[in-house]
Chain A
Amino acid sequence: MPTLIKLADGRFSAAEDVFTDIADEDAIPAAGAVILSLTRFQAEGDALVGAGRTVGVRVQPDEAVEDLAYDLPRLALVAVVFPKYRDGRAYTSATLLRQRLGYGGEVRAVGDVLREQAGFMVRCGMDAFAPADGATAEDWAAAAGRFRHVYQRAVDARPPVFEERG
């Protein structure tokens, strides 16, 4: 069971993952919270949500989060996928989910997720992390808090250096 780390009220803590991540070729279990691909959600999501199920959507980096705009209020989470550590598109996806689409639910980083990215991910509005490097919540907090200052405004509320200098 991979660890899940959640950020709430400025604190990182280990959390139980109540969601089942459903691959496109797998059947959807009869009960429980699930995460579906965007395509699968667009085909089967209405029925599941209508039946009162808890549903999240997995967004690949080449998929536009804007396509989810009208569904976001019904989603329990959006998982942004890092197929590779080097693929930075999910940072834009998360930023747009928060800033442009006003999504307030969980934005979870999944895939090739390493603690070195923690600071960037938090700043782009991700608040749940499924690390692939065995990082603990303490590791994650240390990595995310590594820098005492930030140079630009982002999704998080950290004041950039020019406000500190005020």
Chain B
Amino acid sequence: MYRYDAIDREFVADRAAEFRGQVARRLAGELTEDQFKPLRLMNGLYLQLHAYMLRVAIPYGSMDSRQLRRLAHIARTYDKGYGHFTTRQNLQLNWIKLGDTPDILDQLAEVDLHAIQTSGNCIRNVTADPYAGATAEEIDDPRVWSEVIRQWSTLHPEFSFLPRKFKFAVTASAKDRTAARVHDIGLVLRRSRDGALGFEVIVGGGQGRTPYVGPTIREHLPVGSLLSYLQAILRVYNRHGRRDNIYKARIKILVAALGKEEFARQVEEEWSKIDSAPADLPDTELARIRGAFTPLAFDSLPARSETFEAAKAASPALARFARNNVKPHKKPGYAIVEISLKAHHATPGDASAEQMETVADLAERYSLDDVRATHEQNLVLPHVKLDDLPAVHGALEAAGLATPNIGLISDIIACPGLDYCALANARAIPIAQAIAQRFEDADRAELIGELKIKISGCINACGHHHVGNIGILGVDKKGEEFYQLSLGGSGQEDASLAQILGPGMSADKVPDAIEALVDTYLSARTGQERFLDTVRRLGMAPFKEAVYADAH
């Protein structure tokens, strides 16, 4: 993985020192709250319902054990002993004091972590495939390009005060684990027919109040031209994106208003005027960054591990875990292990300091010191030997981290909702918990198969409800929490937006409604059809009928 050098470290230290000064000026009354707010947001610090919330960047979701242990230490020392992994592969701490934040940033900086650009109308932390460097599917390592974008976008002088926030996703696999088509820019690495590496450039996807699946504006951008092309896109957006209405300020609105062709034309025209030599990254620097992600020293192992097979045969729990949480690795004898942060009674995405330390220990001992956070709010040990899986599973079980439900109905994305968030209209966490508990039976969950439920506590859609197979949106209806269900969304390579099912309902009705949707699917599915496939084949009608039958 990418290691900071002295220059990167000095930069982060300068940033922490700058924020220390800004906090001092705020506390002394030299800055008003209106002036201070954008400054603290640029350092990921929000004022939420009960306290400040600090959003720590985990660049493209990649950490080592030292960093994860430090996050655990901060959670224990400055918070209430837990943190929340988000849909953008970041970590949020819910109970932070403003007065402690300069010290926290110093502590983060010591392990090359920071909260730079985790909020504000700037280029945010890049989302990348959590299986990068481990999956056989990828045609290049997306972390290389994510790191290129991280450096280029850090305090970018021209693009730090955009009309609105700006999010990138980078993937190099046919199976999209980044939700690239619902990001401001999605970059999908592809090879052309002659073998040249390039990006499919998707611009103007997004969720929020006005969701869009982003159109492709360029099928194959040569990788060496990435930064000049991004400069052209960002410049067109910075100049022409709307600034009069916060709900119409994202690039998706500009792309939709101009039309994909006209937007692409403006980008190409601007790009043609940019002097590419100074704008693009020199090959030497690209090679240096790529060098940080050279393939690790994997052992030569047989593809089949007798140890693992025997343990699976003896332990139904391990066998179930293997079926759902263990994914194929590019090297024989290794596996990718997903750690679910969706225990049925837990808060989706939350991990205690002790759990973080357990995962850090396992990463150090069994996964080449590498941990990933996924946009579905789980963690990944990307490089585990099959021989070690029984031991890893045992340690996860002891820490309450072995829930075998990756991709299943209880692997629910939920934003913090009104339990924490100042923007929320309704709670999301208790809805996720109620559904997970309803579908706690692991056999039944496996029978149902892949089913992605995503819950947002307000229209900003941090819980990705627009791309849930079942999306749930919390709304405030005359002073009461209400939940609007939608069906048929996907954030993956077959991206689509969910359609609203019908009238909203109170919280206590939601689990029954999900039950009705699942029963309809189970009785209608054919063959290996996923829930999403059945919805696409049958349309909304039978599902609507099942949920609202009582109302007739």
Contacts and interface: CB of A to CB of B under 8 A. Distances in A.
Do A and B come into direct contact in the complex, CB within 8 Å? Answer: yes
A87 B281 CA distance: 28
A114 B275 CA distance: 31
A164 B151 CA distance: 14
12 contacts: A120-B157, A120-B158, A147-B11, A147-B14, A147-B155, A151-B151, A154-B157, A154-B158, A161-B7, A161-B8, A161-B151, A165-B7
Contacts of A154: 157-158
A87 B157 contact: no
A149 B121 contact: no
B160 interface: yes
A114 B7 contact: no
A74 interface: no
B28 to A, nearest CB: 14
Contacts, number: 95
Interface in A110-166: 114, 116, 119-121, 123-124, 133, 146-155, 161-162, 164-165
B11 A151 contact: yes
A85 interface: yes
A11 interface: no
A152 B5 contact: no
A162 B155 CA distance: 15
A149 B10 CA distance: 8
A164 B7 contact: yes
Contacts of A99: 275
A119 B157 contact: yes
Nearest to B156: A152
Given A88-B159, A119-B157, A152-B227, 12 more contacts: A85-B35, A85-B38, A88-B162, A120-B155, A120-B161, A124-B158, A146-B17, A153-B278, A162-B288, A165-B7, A165-B285, A165-B288
Interface stretch (A18-26, A49-57, A89-97): A89-97
Interface residues of B, number: 39
A86 B11 contact: no
Contacts of B39: 116
Nearest to B227: A152
A133 B227 CA distance: 34
A165 B278 contact: no
Interface residues of A, number: 32
B238 A149 contact: no
Contacts of B17: 146
A124 B14 contact: no
B7 A146 contact: no
B220 interface: no
Nearest to B22: A116
B284 interface: yes
State the main secondary structure of chain B at its contact with A.
Answer: helix
A133 B39 CA distance: 15
A146 to B, nearest CB: 5
Contact of A162 (B121, B235, B282): B282
B419 to A, nearest CB: 29
A109 to B, nearest CB: 12
A99 B273 CA distance: 10
A92 B239 CA distance: 7
A165 B161 CA distance: 28
Nearest to B34: A85
A148 B158 contact: no
Sorted from nearest, which 6 A-B pairs have the closest CB atoms?
A88-B161, A123-B157, A162-B285, A120-B157, A151-B151, A91-B158
A77 to B, nearest CB: 20
A99 B227 CA distance: 17
A41 B74 CA distance: 57
B397 interface: no
Contact of A150 (B155, B227, B235, B279): B155
Contacts of A85: 35, 38, 161
B365 interface: no
A164 B282 CA distance: 13
A150 B7 CA distance: 9
Contacts of A152: 151-152, 154, 156-157, 227
Contact of B284 (A116, A153, A162): A162
Given A100-B273, A120-B160, A86 B38 contact: yes
B481 to A, nearest CB: 32
A151 B158 CA distance: 13
B152 A165 contact: no
